[in-house]
């Protein structure tokens, strides 16, 4: 993916657990429904892009709808959400992220509390994204 862009991603539960060599776990993962998610691509974990490496790790921030509710136990406050255009609603009037084109929903946000690192297969192309 390109850093600081929006993507649609799907997680592969079977590939996620394949290195554990546990047939029961793998069978359970095969039964899981596969869904697609919209996410904001953060930083690449490696300092340099290495086209010969089969995978690179990236940080993804899942897009969600509506401002996060306060959760004092987890230290989550509504103002920690970042709006995404066309949404401009924020408790402290934080500037929204611009995805380059409007998302089809008008109440989307990202937050550091809904993010994860994932390996992505390397795919080098000649064209600029």
Average pLDDT, the chain: 89
Is residue 16 within 8 A of residue 30, CB to CB? The reply is no
Say what the pLDDT of residue 128 is: 67
Mean pLDDT (whole number) for 91-111: 90
Edge to edge, the sheet with strand 64-65 lists 64-65, 108-110, 82-83
Mean pLDDT (whole number) for 70-92: 89
| pTM exceeding 0.85 | no
């Amino acid at each position: 993916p390109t850093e600081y862009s929006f993507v649609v991603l799907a997680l592969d539960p079977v590939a996620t657990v394949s290195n554990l060599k546990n047939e029961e776990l793998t069978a359970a993962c095969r039964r899981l429904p596969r869904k697609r998610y919209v996410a904001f691509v953060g930083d690449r974990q490696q300092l340099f892009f290495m086209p010969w490496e089969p995978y690179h790790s990236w940080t993804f921030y899942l897009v969600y709808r509506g401002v996060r509710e306060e959760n004092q136990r987890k230290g989550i406050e509504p103002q920690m959400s970042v709006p995404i255009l066309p949404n401009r609603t924020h408790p402290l009037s934080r500037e929204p992220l611009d995805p380059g084109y409007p998302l089809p929903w008008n109440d989307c946000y990202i937050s550091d509390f809904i993010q994860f690192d994932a390996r992505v297969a390397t795919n080098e192309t000649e064209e600029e994204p």
